[in-house]
Structure formats: structure tokens, C-alpha cells
Structure 1
């Protein structure tokens, strides 16, 4: 079975390959094709993968190419993890927004809109090529903003594109762990959009254990989300929000903290990864060791500004292990082998949430089998959550419209309507600022 990884020179690709190395069952991935626009990054990542596979018999064969069509032909699965504009683009997203006093995070608020505006046209081109060159392939999308990009690609690929994210997986795992439950045995009632969802229940053997957690202040304050949001706020919500909702619930504090840091997250990662890729140019460098060291630093500093604002301290060691690669592998196994499983995924709504049309991509538990991912019926969201997800979905639709039409006016509308951008004038300045620094937005007229 052939897996093509778009963004194959990306830093987190070894996580995916590491997961593949653990799969020894019949029908496993035997060929991995890395595609990237940057030869040097492909070379660096291929070196890491080669060291990962050194002690593994019959490891999946790895090839690399900068030819997109060549990479897509014959693929059974296509994993999309591209970053249009690179980490330098992410740093621009952050700086332009913060200069206007609004959030520049890569998937939330102004930064997420800017990232989406330059990513959607590229993702749509990929989707069209997949439909033409690999019509039977399944696309697993991890490209951010994941829900928005998945919806853009679904207009050309239908249900054969499925978005994944490690945030709901990590959240469910932490809740189960603090309750003393096995995450594999727990049913997680999670619903929302990507990076905008809530856990409303966690059932073990048919019993919802979340009320027990919410009633115990000590237990509730003992894990990441309790520290990040505060016990009182979680008890008020009656649910556990995805960590990215900290940007909404504590927006002023988050913006202030990001304005005060010496380097934005994007700038930090750009510098950090530049050092890694530069080190990989040395033939004698220990590729896997260097990658492991860089990854540990990356994960330990994840959302550091938010945790500092909340007084949450450092992340627990158990939360430094990623997770999206395991979701991707479980998804591929379920489809390729008809190994039925349940995963929280980004899929078309299809009537799951009545406030959205059938084509709106949402993030919910899905039953997965050989025919793809099928969203599970969920209870309606409370009013405060419904209002937020509807507002953000409305923004996503304006981003898609702007990307399709090339309309600068529509792009301004997308920014202006976002709950974290509080002024039409600020929206206009954001579009001007982003257009100045991003060649990928030259299509906006």
C-alpha cells in the first residue's frame, strides 16, 4: 500500500513514519513517498527516517520527489501536512495581527484567517489533482486550519477527504487518565469545529464519569485544562473545552502575553527548525538524535504564553508525546482493513448538527470502516457554544468565498466578522498588512 506525504520535508513527518514502523499486519503501508518543494528539507527528513528504520526489518520503503503529480499517482492514501509560506509566513501572521492588537495564532482569529486565505487555493489545486490522478485515494488532511482546509478540499473530493487533529485526542486522554479510566475504553462526547470544541461527557461502561470530575475541584485542577482555564470556569461551563478556546475565553490576556514575548511562536519555531535543517547538512550529524532533541523542546514550549498567563506551570511529561500520527494510522487501518473503530475527526456534517448545512465540516466522533468516516449523532450544543461555532463557521465560509473569487472585499468581511477582531477598520488594516508581506495573497483584488 502506498502512502504519499505532502509536506514530506516537514519536521513532524518522522512521527508518522515512526507509527508506520509499528504496524506489521497484512495490508500495511509498504511504500512512502515524500513530496515537498524544498530538496534540502526532503533530504534532511529522509535521513531521520532512514535512521528510524535501521533496526526494523522490512520497513516501508521511502522515496522523495518535488514533482507533485508523480507523488500522487498510484497513492492509496495521501497525507497532507503542507505549510504555505513556511514558518516565516506564520511569524508574519502573528506580527501583523499583534501590531493591530488582535490575536495572530496560526489557526485562531486573524492569524488563522490569513493562513487560510493563502492555503485554500493551494489545497484546492491539490484536491483537483487528486481527483484526476488518484481518484480512489483517501486524503487525510492535517494542514491547518484543518477544518477550513478539509471543507475546501471536500468540495472536490467529497467524503474521501478527512481532517485529523491531535487536540481532541490529547484532551480525551487527559480526562480519562485523571479519572483512572483507560482512554481506549472510553466514549468521548466531543463536538464543535477544529480547535473550537468541548468534551461534554466521558462514558465508561455506559456511565458518564465527567460529572464526577467537574464536582471534584482538586481532581479538576490537577490536569492541563484545569490549570489553564481554572476550576471555577470549567464548573460554570459544565464541560471541558479544547485548549484553543483559551484564546477566546481569555483573549485580552493572551494577546497581551503574546505582545510581550521576545519571539512569537512562529519566529521561535522558524529559528529552531532552521538550526535543525542546517545541522542536517553535515554528513556526520546524528539525524535522529538531533530531531528528537528539537522535538522535545518544541513540545515543551507549546502554548507556553497561555500557560504563563493562567499560572499553569510547565506541561506534564505525559502530554509531550504528540498523537496525530496515531490518529492517522488508526484511520488508515480502519479504512484499508475494515477494522471498525471510533475516532474524533473533521468530516462533513451530514445532518449531525442541525445548525449547519450538510457540507459544513465539523469535528465530532465518527465510526470508521472501509467506506470512510461516518459522524455519530450528537446532542445540540448549548446556546453560548452554538453562537461561537456559528460565527466562526460563517467566517470560514467567507474565507472560502474570498479564495474562490479573489475578492479583497470578501477577505475584509471574513476578518471583520470574526469574534476576535472587533473592528471593520482593523479588518481593513489586517488585509493590507497581510497582502504586503504574503506573496501568496496577491490574488486578492
Structure 2
């Protein structure tokens, strides 16, 4: 029996993960509690999940709440997918985190991992993540926290450092990229094998095989095809120059390193564009009156019971059923990758079974790949210190060390940029001194 709490259920993960959970027979007992600060969102998602439970005839209790403390007691798994201060990718404060750096020539592509946007997103999100952990320490101390909230590595690092809760962070870049690679080399995905390790959004396909043979020669051959290369130009350039394929998209990867976005003349060859988010986050994320949604809630239209490629339900199923489940997770390094800091968070192959989550030991990364990871880990480290210590100056230093920001701006410009963001987000960052 599994008791699951999903915090941030009004996001895209509430319905999706509930469906994933109920796609596993071993998870069709216990409870699913859906938490969102938006009462309407929590209630509507719960109605949909209740309809799915009725369709399956499963003895699963479905609850919803705006206060997580009401439903945390007895939880075995707490899934967190939240945005703090506003919508994740529209309106304030996200708008300022993209547009203020853009005034200084720092053109971020997503701004949710590292960079100025990633630093400030961490600063405004980490306190709430720590409060969730404190509630768990009091109400369900043995529960596993499964994090989907970005910036993944920095938030998991902060929770590992400051709390006693077991944390694993999940992303879908390994699944998505491995499927893309099968497509690029024109081979069936079911015949592919891979071994991936590094950090979140910058992990490396250290091994890529098709039918037991090294598939990298096929990938290098595919990279010579202009049509294929144009689909992923940044990552194919990283492959060509550094010898390994990276997990995040070309759009994402372009902002983690100093090579692609620092000058406009570089943009066109790599298919890059500026990001201009909406200044106002208008309307609800979901249309709760959509005909299909209402028909499913009323039981008039069946819900297709098919799990996505998200890992969360597979982890729960592995632990509850005892059938081992392999996935890539974000965990405390602690010697897993020996040439990255022990305290950082790495994304590595893991197994889940009745005994819990077990990361696999990697050893050393190739030096050039570790160096790219370390350039981002330096930013992560200072940002986590800033968040845990309430140290504003360390946040500024984190931005000064960001590879893209440093490639574009002077130190004085970076400090002024940070001062403007501190002012714009002072209602969220009052704990910093």
C-alpha cells in the first residue's frame, strides 16, 4: 500500500503522475492526496483522479487540500512540483529574471537551471522547499521526497544539506534524449542501451549502444547529415568538440556554457532565439470546463490508462512490489562521481527496490566533461550557500561565476544587475542580508 502526496498538483504533474501511479497494479491501494495553494486547481484535479479510480475500481482514497500539513501524516512518498512567487515561466518574477539580464546582453534561453535566472529562482524557491522538508520531518519523517521542481540540482543540494529527509530529484531529459538518439541513428528504441551520468541538465551519454554494439560511430555519422544536425545543432557541436552527447536540449544547453549565446552572430548557425516571456501570467493553466475533461470527470469518456516516461511511479512501484526499477536520479554525490565534489548533486543511474533507492557508482568522468560540470557546480555551490546562510553577497558571486554571464558582462555590470533583481524580488528575498 502506498500513500502519496503530490504538492503542486495544479501543475502539469498532478494529473499526469496520478495516472502514472494508478497504471501500476501494485500502487492501486492506499491514497493519493493532491495539494495546491489554488483551491480550484486542487479540487478539479482530485475530481479527475477520483473518476479514474472509479473507472479502475481501485480501493484508493483520493483527497485534496490547500494545506499540505493536513495530508502529510502517514505519507510514504511526497512529490513536489511547485513554483514560488508566480507562474513558473510567465509573469513576475520570472519575467524580471529573464528581461533584466537581457538588458545587459545576457540572453538566457530558459533561465531555470543556472545563470542569473537559475540563481534567483533558487533563492526564492529554496525556503519553501525547506519548509516542506521541515513539515515532513515532523509528520512523515520516513517518506521519500521526489522532487520535480527546478532548479533541480540546487534545490536538492539545499535539502540534502539542511534536512534529514531522503530526496531524489527527477527530470525527463535522459528519457527524452535517449529516444531522440534512437531517432537520429534510425534504430528501434527498444534495442538501445545507455549509461548516463553527470549533473542535472548536463549529464553525459558515457555509453550508447545498439544491439550490444557501440552506437557512437552511428551518431557521429548521423551528425554529418545537415538535416539531422539542424534538429540539435548545439548538442551536435558539443559532441563534435567534447566527444560526448549531453542530456539537455540544444536550447537549454546553449545557456549553460559561454560558447553560443554571447554574440548575436553565433545565434543563426545554432538556431538560437531570444526568450521574451509574457509580462503578465494571464488566466488559468488549465481549462477546467474543457469538454473532454468534463466528460472524463462525469465518467462519460474513459481515461486512457497508460503510464508516461516519468520515473516517479516506477520508483514507487519498485519499492512497493520489489521488482527492481532502473532510472536516472539526482542524488547527493558522496563519491559516486569521484572527480566532482562529494557534496554536490549528481544525476546518475539508480535502482529502486524494496530496500529503497540505490545510486550506481560511476568513478571518474572524462576530464573535459567533468570540467564543464564543474563550471556549473561552482554556481550551484555558492547559490546553495547563499540560500542556506541568507548571504546576499554569495548570490552575487554565484552570478559572477556563471559561464554565460561572465562571457558577456563586467563584474560591475553583474553586481548592478543583481541589485536590480534583489529590488524586484524584495518581497520574496527578505531573508537575504
Aligned counterpart, 2:41: 41
Cα deviation for residue 182 of structure 1 reads: 5.1
SS, match of residue 86 in structure 1: coil
- Note the alpha carbon deviations across 1:326-362, whole angstroms, 9 max, x for none: 3111111122222212211101112122223333210
The one of 200, 204, 213 aligned to 2:219: 213
8 Å contact 1:5–1:35 — kept in the other structure? yes
Is structure 2 residue 8 aligned with structure 1 residue 7?
Answer: yes
Distance 1:344 1:116, change over 3 A: same
User: Aligned-pair distance for 1:236?
Assistant: 3.2
Q: Single out whichever of 425-434 and 226-235 deviates more from structure 2.
A: 226-235
* Normalised TM-score (structure 1): 0.81
Q: Are the counterparts in 1 of residues 143 and 165 from structure 2 also a CA contact under 8 Å?
A: no
**CA-to-partner distance for each residue in 1:382-413, whole Å, 9 max, x for gaps?**
33322221121121111111112212111111
Which digits, 9 at most, give the CA deviation of each residue in 1:218-263, with x for residues without a partner?
6695388x533275653333221221212234223689798856x4
Aligned to 2:354: 370
Match of 2:387 among 403, 408, 422: 403
**Paired residue for 2:302?**
none
Taking structure 1 as reference, are residues 53 and 210 closer, same or farther at Cα in structure 2, changes over 3 Å only? Answer: farther
Return closer, same or farther for 1:367/1:21 CA change in 2, 3 Å cut-off: closer
The alignment covers a number of residue pairs equal to: 404
1:152 corresponds in structure 2 to: 158
Shift of 1:267: 5.1
1:188 maps to: 194
Q: Tell me, what secondary structure is at the counterpart of 2:262?
A: helix
Of residues 86, 93, 100 in structure 2, which corresponds to 1:96? 100
State yes or no: 1:128 paired with 2:134: yes
Q: Which has the higher contact order (CA 8 A, sep 6+)?
A: 2
In structure 1, C-alpha distance between the alignment counterparts of 2:29 and 2:157, rounded to whole Å:
26
Deviation at 1:130, TM superposition (A): 1.2
From 412, 429, 443, the equivalent of 2:416 is 429
Change (3 A) 1:142 1:235: same
More helix by share: 1
Question: Whole-Å Cα distance in 2 between the matches of residues 99 and 29 of structure 1?
Answer: 53
Describe the superposition over 1:36-56 as per-residue Cα deviations: whole angstroms up to 9, x where unpaired.
222132234334445555643
Any residues of structure 2 matched to 1:151-300 within 5 Å, and which? 151-157=157-163, 160-179=166-185, 181=187, 183=189, 186-204=192-210, 206-217=212-223, 222=228, 226-229=231-234, 231=236, 234-241=239-246, 242-243=248-249, 244-247=252-255, 248=257, 249-252=259-262, 263-264=276-277, 270-271=281-282, 274-277=283-286, 279-280=287-288, 285-286=290-291, 288=293
Residue 3 of structure 1 and its aligned partner are, at CA, apart by 0.5
Q: Is the 8 Å Cα contact of residues 35 and 67 (structure 1) preserved in structure 2? A: yes
1:331 is aligned to 315
Q: Name 2:430's counterpart in structure 1.
A: 442
Question: Could you say if the C-alpha distance between residues 11 and 26 of structure 1 is closer, same or farther in structure 2, counting changes exceeding 3 Å?
Answer: closer
Aligned pair in 2 of structure 1 residues 131, 231: CA closer, same or farther (>3 Å)? closer
TM-score computed with the length of structure 2 as normaliser: 0.83
> Quick check: 1:117 aligned with 2:113?
no
| Residue ranges of structure 2 left out of the alignment (5+ in a row) | 297-305
- Cα RMSD (Å) of the superposition? 3.1
Q: 1:267 to 1:286 in 2, by over 3 A?
A: farther
Give the whole-Å Cα distance in 2 for the aligned partners of 1:401 and 1:231: 34
The Cα shift of 1:200 comes to: 2.8
- After TM superposition, the structure 1 stretch with the greater mean CA deviation from structure 2, 116-125 or 83-92, is 83-92
How big is the shift at 1:138?
0.8
Q: Name the stretch that deviates more: 187-196 or 96-105.
A: 96-105
Could you tell me how far apart the structure 1 residues matched to 2:56 and 2:35 are? 23
CA contact (8 A) 1:84 1:118 kept: yes
CA distance in 2, matches of 1:394, 1:194: 14
Distance, in Å, in 2 between the alignment partners of 1:275 and 1:372 is 37
